[in-house]
Copies of this chain bind each other. A is one copy, B any other.
Amino acid sequence: MAERSAPRTARERVRAQLTAEIVEVARAHLATTGAAALSLRAVARELGMVSSAVYRYFPSRDDLLTTLIIEGYDALGEAAEQASAAVDRADLLGRWLAVFTAAREWALAHPHEYALLYGSPVPGYAAPQATTGPAGRVALLLAGIVRDGLASGAITPPPGDDAAIIHPGLLETLDLPTDTNLGTRVVQAWSGLFGTIGFELFGHTHNVVANHEKHLHEVATTLAVAVGLPTPE
C-alpha cells in the first residue's frame, strides 16, 4: 500500500536488487514453463537459495504472479506508447497502426507473458485491484487517438447509444460522448486487437492465415474505419 521511499541503506539496496532478480528469473521461467507451472521452488533453486528464503521477498506465489502481471502490462503498454509517440501526432491512422503493430510484436517476443495477461486465468489466482490500471494502458492509447480525432474534427462519430452499453463513468474518464457508438467501437478495437494476436499465438489461424503481419494490418485498418478514422481511399 504505502510506497517505499528510495532505498537508503546498503541492506535496502541489496534487498531491492534481489527482489528484482527473483522477478527476472520468474519471468524467464514463465517463458519456458508457462504460468500455471511457475514454481517458487524452481525460482529459488535457480538463484541458489533455499525455497523458504523467497518468502522474505514475496509473501506467496500469488504475489509473485501479481508482480509479473503488472510488469507485463506495463512493458506492453510502454512498447505501444513509444511506438505511437514516434509517429507525427496529427497522423491519427499512423498512430493507430503503430499501436496495433507494437502490441503484436511485443506479444510475439513474449508469448508466455502474453498468455499470462490475456490467456485463461491462472487456476486459483484472483487478480487484485492493482492490476487493473496497467491493464488498461493500450485501451487508453486507442481512446486517446479517437479523442484527438474528435477534437480536430477528423472523426465523424458513428451513431449509437454508448450510454446503454459502456459504463458511463468510463466514458467520462475517457472524455468521450455518450450519444454515439465511439466507446463501443474503441472497446471492439481493443478486444479485436488482442483477439487477433491471441488467435495467431495460440495457433488458431495456423493453416488459415498465411501472412499474419499483413492480416493484422488489415484488421487494424478495418477497425480504424469502424471508429471513424479517415483512411486513404
- The docked-state distance in angstroms from the alpha carbon of A80 to that of B170 is 33
Q: Which of B119, B132, B164 contacts A214 (CB 8 A)?
A: B164
Name A's interface SS: helix
A2 within 8 Å of B (CB atoms): no
Q: Which of B35, B139, B219 contacts A120 (CB 8 A)?
A: B35
Number of interface residues of A (CB under 8 A): 54
Give per-residue flags for A196-222: 1 if the beta carbon is below 8 A from chain B beta carbons, else 0.
101100111101111100110011001
Cross-chain contact B121 with A202 (CB below 8 angstroms): yes
A105 → chain B closest CB, angstroms = 18
Cross-chain contact B36 with A123 (CB below 8 angstroms): yes
Q: Which residue of B lies closest to A190 (CB)?
A: B199
- The docked-state distance in angstroms from the alpha carbon of A205 to that of B192 is 13
Q: A49 — which chain B residues lie within 8 A by C-beta?
A: none
A188 within 8 Å of B (CB atoms): yes
Cross-chain contact B34 with A123 (CB below 8 angstroms): yes
Q: A165 — which chain B residues lie within 8 A by C-beta?
A: 209-211, 214-215, 218
Cross-chain contact A207 with B119 (CB below 8 angstroms): no
Segment with Cβ contacts to B, from A6-14, A19-27, A87-95, A179-187:
A179-187
A189 → chain B closest CB, angstroms = 10
Cross-chain contact B209 with A167 (CB below 8 angstroms): yes
A33 within 8 Å of B (CB atoms): yes
Q: Which residue of B lies closest to A196 (CB)?
A: B191
Q: Which of B120, B195, B211, B226 contacts A222 (CB 8 A)?
A: B226
- The docked-state distance in angstroms from the alpha carbon of A120 to that of B33 is 12
A79 within 8 Å of B (CB atoms): no
Cross-chain contact B208 with A166 (CB below 8 angstroms): yes
Additional A-B contacts beyond A115-B120, A225-B226 (13; CB < 8 A): A119-B119, A120-B120, A160-B218, A165-B209, A167-B209, A170-B207, A184-B218, A188-B215, A188-B219, A188-B222, A191-B219, A193-B195, A195-B195
List the 9 closest pairs (A to B, CB-CB), nearest first: A195-B195, A119-B120, A34-B123, A115-B120, A36-B36, A191-B199, A191-B195, A192-B192, A167-B210
